[in-house]
Chains A and B, each alone.
Chain A
Amino acid sequence: MEALDIARWQFGITTVYHFFFVPVTIGLVFLVAMLQTAWHRTGNEKYLRLTRFYGKLFLINFALGIATGIVQEFQFGMNWSDYSRFVGDVFGAPLAIEGLLAFFLESTFLGLWIFGWDRLRPAVHLACIWLAAIGTVLSAYFILAANSFMQNPVGYRMNEESGRAELTDFWAVMTNKVVLVTFPHTIFACFMVGGAVVAGVGLWQMLRGARRDDEEEREAFRTAVRLGAVVLLVAGAGTMVSGDFQGKVMTEVQPMKMAAAEGLYEDEAPASFSLLTVGTLDGSEPLFEVKIPRLLSFLGTGTWDGEVRGIDSLQAEYEQRFGPGDYAPNIPVTYWTFRAMITAGGLAMVGGAWMLWATRRRRLPSLATWEGRWLLRTAVVLPFLPLAASSFGWIFTEMGRQPWVVFGLMETSAGVSPGVSAGEALTTLVGFTALYAALAVVEFRLLLTYIRKGLPDADPPELVDDPDAPLAFAY
């Protein structure tokens, strides 16, 4: 493999891995904050116990999120130095601002939240988790604005002399039409993940938890299941609506990505949506294909008979604009990740709806019934569905941009670090992959341990005056 391929695999692996922790963090921190708010408002200890239980899962996850996050910022310069030189003027600012505005907020107030139970007044302590939560979405906005520049460059001009992109309108970068649709889509998807984790873990506890016969504990988890499922469904609706807007913007600014998502070679008006294809996706006639007439026209253009451009005519147009080359992304990857995203997200919503139905009016199916057994399986799988959907969505959107690293301005092959040898790149690829795999095992087993423990005691925190009293929380 060449250094370019190794660098691409490395970015793919480290980024996909990092983004397992991001949606869990963003989703869970808000749910934990909501649970703590409920305790603060009602004084009901069930909410405090849930806050502590899900808060622990959140923190176990957050640790790996920050650990893998440092690599994200460093690897632009390490593996993609020519890319960094080219876009640094535009792309660096949102990254720096993300650190200053969001990361300080998250880390400082999470430190206060974790260690501050007996040091801060309850209202101040509650404010800390909300400030950390706000930090996570601020962070998401800035990094998505940076990514959106790569999908749809705006607010810049090309400096012919230096060959670099230069920022001319920061506001345009921050209000890129792509970030305006990508941000809600991503955040709703994160809430789906948070809701699914809370609901899935809660339902498992109700059905199989060690203390499932403890009335109080089961009822607390019922609250969690229903809260999580509602968040999952509402966020799911939000993800669908924002995804629909996103499809239209994508058709406008990156028509090749939409064509690749569909394996659509010829321009079509009206265009039908391909549900699935058996056979090849290389433009020859497929063996078997299921299509929904006119749906693609609607998704892409908002009208039932709008024209959606195909790969062949876009390829011809891009050859004229950019010179000879292959301007189509990897069609099987884009086609199937797009479908896998929609399927996994849809299944998550079905699972969430079923959980709401199955736990209605204090009901709980017994494990002796088929319903109970399937519900248990759903509870175990549920958290992974929106997580997988998020991953597929990102693989789709990044692979669908290829061969460009910045659409229309710089090809990925031109962005790689010229001074980094294949051997060096391979060293870090193998090193990070091995380390990440080991950490995944450690983290997953730790999560399972804490999920199995069930609810901790409420242990309502009190402000301590005694300077010799033990710490409420200690490493």
Chain B
Amino acid sequence: MELTTVWFVLIAVLWIGYLVLEGFDFGVGMLTAVLARDEKERRVLLNTIGPVWDGNEVWLIVAGGATFAAFPEWYATLFSGFYLPLFVILVALILRIVALEYRSKRPAMVWKRRCDVGILIGSVVPAVLWGVALANLVRGVPIDADKEFVGSVVDLLNPYALLGGLVTLSVFLVHGAVFVGLKTVGDIRERARVLALRVGVVAAVLATVFVVWTAGRDGDAVVWAAGAVAVACFAVGLAAASARREGWAFVGTALSIAAVVVMLFTALFPDVMVSSLDPAWSLTTTNAASTPYTLTIMTWVAAAFTPLVVGYQAWSYWVFRRRIGTHHIPDDVLAPTS
């Protein structure tokens, strides 16, 4: 396999890592607004992702850095072209980080409510916009002969991309609810399961339409296959959730997110960004890539360190494997008692 192809695959892997992991963080963030009935339950939800969400977000940083290093033209066109949506994503992610970290630092309920708003915005907005952005990569955007994005933000808000945004939003919500079912005990665990199933039906319909639309545009057998796997895994995940097999439910939703990314990247290949003006102006794995020397260095570094990273990140999940419920949440030490 050519090194450019290797790095195209690796960047897909980084996006899979990011969306599978941060996907349930976003879902849990949304659930704090709809599933939790009181302050203790909100804290149960936030503590299911507490030790891990920051590490999950690094997958995005590394995906961005790897794109910069391996495909500078892709990084440059994508980030300057999707300028305003990325700005909105950044603002939302900043709000989410600060709200998550600072929520417990003051006792006042007004403060916690404001942080909850930050967590909600910071979970919903990126969940939608990442779907919009990925769908636009495949659909094509106006790119000229100099690899410059020449469209406007309106070009990015087309029906196909907006459907992509709804798919990521609903799938992440289900993925988050399945994760909560896996990580909690008590009443909230059961309610998470019910919510996962209800939203899951809507998400399954949206995802199926999106898969058919994507594969129909492209027609490639592998794209069809990946899309079918995505839908099947999602259905298996929902069935497992229905049967209270929470571990398998999580494997199902995680695999289905991974399969959607595989589908989108397969539909892209060998392009990395499609020009809607002229196919000859599309950015490809070859015309957007770094030199073989740079790719070789990067390959060695990635081969040496990725297993290590995956190893210790997996260990951190193992350390915090225990389910939590309201009885685990200490009374707010900051609460004004006397």
Instruction: Say whether, besides A115-B320, A428-B87, A470 and B80 are in contact (CB < 8 Å).
Output: no
Which A89-119 residues have C-beta < 8 A from chain B?
89-93, 95-101, 103-105, 107-112, 114-116, 119
**A108 CA to B310 CA in the complex, in Å?**
11
CB-CB under 8 A from B51, the residues of chain A are 111-112, 114-116
Which A435-475 residues have C-beta < 8 A from chain B?
435, 439, 442, 446, 449-450, 467-471, 474-475
The stretch among A188-196, A254-262, A414-422 that forms the contact with chain B is: A414-422
CB-CB under 8 A from B327, the residues of chain A are 468, 470
Instruction: Tell me if B172 counts as interface (CB < 8 A to partner A).
Output: no
The stretch among A37-45, A164-172, A226-234, A299-307 that forms the contact with chain B is: A164-172
The stretch among A46-54, A57-65, A331-339 that forms the contact with chain B is: A57-65
CB-CB under 8 A from B62, the residues of chain A are 96, 99-100, 103-104
Instruction: Tell me if A317 counts as interface (CB < 8 A to partner B).
Output: no
Instruction: Say whether, besides A70-B93, A81-B76, A419-B81, A471 and B330 are in contact (CB < 8 Å).
Output: yes
**Band of interface residues on B:** 35 or more
Instruction: Tell me if B90 counts as interface (CB < 8 A to partner A).
Output: yes
Q: Are A170 and B297 in contact (CB under 8 A)?
A: yes
Instruction: Tell me if B276 counts as interface (CB < 8 A to partner A).
Output: no
Which A167-218 residues have C-beta < 8 A from chain B?
167-168, 170
Closest residue of B by beta carbon distance from A450: B105
Closest residue of A by beta carbon distance from B61: A99
Q: Are A474 and B330 in contact (CB under 8 A)?
A: yes
Instruction: Tell me if B324 counts as interface (CB < 8 A to partner A).
Output: yes
Q: Are A439 and B98 in contact (CB under 8 A)?
A: yes
Quote the shortest CB–CB distance from B88 to chain A (angstroms): 9
CB-CB under 8 A from B297, the residues of chain A are 93, 167, 170
Instruction: Tell me if A68 counts as interface (CB < 8 A to partner B).
Output: yes
**A474 CA to B327 CA in the complex, in Å?**
12
Quote the shortest CB–CB distance from B134 to chain A (angstroms): 16
Q: Are A111 and B64 in contact (CB under 8 A)?
A: no
Quote the shortest CB–CB distance from B156 to chain A (angstroms): 13
**A439 CA to B148 CA in the complex, in Å?**
34
Instruction: Tell me if B94 counts as interface (CB < 8 A to partner A).
Output: yes
The residue among B52, B53, B55, B93 with the most chain A CB atoms within 10 A of its own CB is B55
The stretch among B192-200, B240-248, B298-306 that forms the contact with chain A is: B298-306
Residue interface mask B127-168, A partner, CB < 8 A = 1 = 000000000000000000001111000000000000000000
Instruction: Tell me if A76 counts as interface (CB < 8 A to partner B).
Output: yes
Instruction: Say whether, besides A74-B64, A92-B290, A474-B43, A446 and B50 are in contact (CB < 8 Å).
Output: no
Instruction: Tell me if A120 counts as interface (CB < 8 A to partner B).
Output: yes
Q: Are A73 and B61 in contact (CB under 8 A)?
A: yes
Q: Are B97 and A167 in contact (CB under 8 A)?
A: no
CB-CB under 8 A from A439, the residues of chain B are 94, 98
Q: Which applies to chain B's interface (DSSP): helix, strand, loop or mixed? A: helix
Q: Are B90 and A70 in contact (CB under 8 A)?
A: yes
Q: Are B316 and A112 in contact (CB under 8 A)?
A: yes
**A69 CA to B98 CA in the complex, in Å?**
13
Q: Are B80 and A77 in contact (CB under 8 A)?
A: yes
Q: Are B102 and A107 in contact (CB under 8 A)?
A: no
Closest residue of B by beta carbon distance from A439: B98
Instruction: Tell me if A279 counts as interface (CB < 8 A to partner B).
Output: no
Q: Are A470 and B320 in contact (CB under 8 A)?
A: no
Q: Are A84 and B76 in contact (CB under 8 A)?
A: yes
Instruction: Tell me if A424 counts as interface (CB < 8 A to partner B).
Output: yes
Instruction: Say whether, besides A111-B316, A168-B293, A474-B104, A70 and B80 are in contact (CB < 8 Å).
Output: no
Q: Which residue from A69, A79, A111, A168 sits with its C-beta under 8 Å from B55?
A: A111
Instruction: Say whether, besides A88-B69, A435-B91, A96 and B298 are in contact (CB < 8 Å).
Output: yes
Instruction: Tell me if B57 counts as interface (CB < 8 A to partner A).
Output: yes
Closest residue of A by beta carbon distance from B291: A166
CB-CB under 8 A from A67, the residues of chain B are 93-94, 97-98
Instruction: Say whether, besides A88-B76, A104-B313, A167-B293, A63 and B97 are in contact (CB < 8 Å).
Output: yes
Instruction: Tell me if B269 counts as interface (CB < 8 A to partner A).
Output: no
Closest residue of A by beta carbon distance from B62: A99
CB-CB under 8 A from B100, the residues of chain A are 475
Residue interface mask B287-329, A partner, CB < 8 A = 1 = 0001101100110011001100100110010011010100111
**A452 CA to B94 CA in the complex, in Å?**
27
Instruction: Say whether, besides A111-B52, A471-B324, A474-B50, A66 and B97 are in contact (CB < 8 Å).
Output: yes
Q: Are B87 and A431 in contact (CB under 8 A)?
A: yes
Q: Are A103 and B61 in contact (CB under 8 A)?
A: yes
Instruction: Tell me if B46 counts as interface (CB < 8 A to partner A).
Output: yes
CB-CB under 8 A from B72, the residues of chain A are 84-85, 87-89, 92, 164
Quote the shortest CB–CB distance from A379 to chain B (angstroms): 23
CB-CB under 8 A from B171, the residues of chain A are none
Quote the shortest CB–CB distance from B6 to chain A (angstroms): 14
**A145 CA to B19 CA in the complex, in Å?**
30
Instruction: Say whether, besides A92-B290, A95-B69, A100 and B101 are in contact (CB < 8 Å).
Output: no
Q: Are A93 and B69 in contact (CB under 8 A)?
A: yes
Q: Are A70 and B329 in contact (CB under 8 A)?
A: no
Quote the shortest CB–CB distance from B34 to chain A (angstroms): 18
**A410 CA to B136 CA in the complex, in Å?**
32
**A310 CA to B90 CA in the complex, in Å?**
44
Q: Are B47 and A474 in contact (CB under 8 A)?
A: yes
**A100 CA to B61 CA in the complex, in Å?**
9
Instruction: Tell me if A342 counts as interface (CB < 8 A to partner B).
Output: no
**A302 CA to B76 CA in the complex, in Å?**
42
CB-CB under 8 A from A398, the residues of chain B are none
Q: Are B81 and A446 in contact (CB under 8 A)?
A: no
Quote the shortest CB–CB distance from B79 to chain A (angstroms): 3
CB-CB under 8 A from B86, the residues of chain A are 74, 78
The residue among B64, B73, B78, B93 with the most chain A CB atoms within 10 A of its own CB is B64
Closest residue of B by beta carbon distance from A124: B319
Q: Are B87 and A78 in contact (CB under 8 A)?
A: yes
Instruction: Say whether, besides A79-B80, A170-B297, A419 and B148 are in contact (CB < 8 Å).
Output: yes
CB-CB under 8 A from B47, the residues of chain A are 471, 474-475
Given A100-B306, A471-B47, A474-B50, 15 extra CB contacts under 8 A:
A85-B147, A92-B75, A92-B290, A93-B69, A108-B313, A108-B316, A109-B312, A109-B316, A112-B316, A166-B290, A166-B294, A170-B293, A417-B83, A428-B84, A471-B324
Interchain Cβ contacts under 8 Å between A and B, 27 examples:
A60-B105, A63-B102, A66-B97, A67-B94, A67-B97, A70-B60, A74-B79, A74-B86, A82-B76, A84-B76, A92-B68, A96-B69, A97-B298, A99-B61, A103-B61, A104-B312, A107-B57, A108-B58, A109-B312, A111-B55, A166-B290, A170-B294, A419-B149, A428-B83, A432-B91, A446-B106, A471-B330
Lowest 7 CB-CB distances: which A-B pairs, in order?
Answer: A88-B72, A77-B79, A92-B69, A96-B65, A92-B68, A81-B80, A63-B101
| Interface set of A (CB-CB < 8 Å, partner B) | 59-60, 63-64, 66-71, 73-74, 76-79, 81-82, 84-85, 87-93, 95-101, 103-105, 107-112, 114-116, 119-120, 164, 166-168, 170, 417-420, 424, 427-428, 431-432, 435, 439, 442, 446, 449-450, 467-471, 474-475
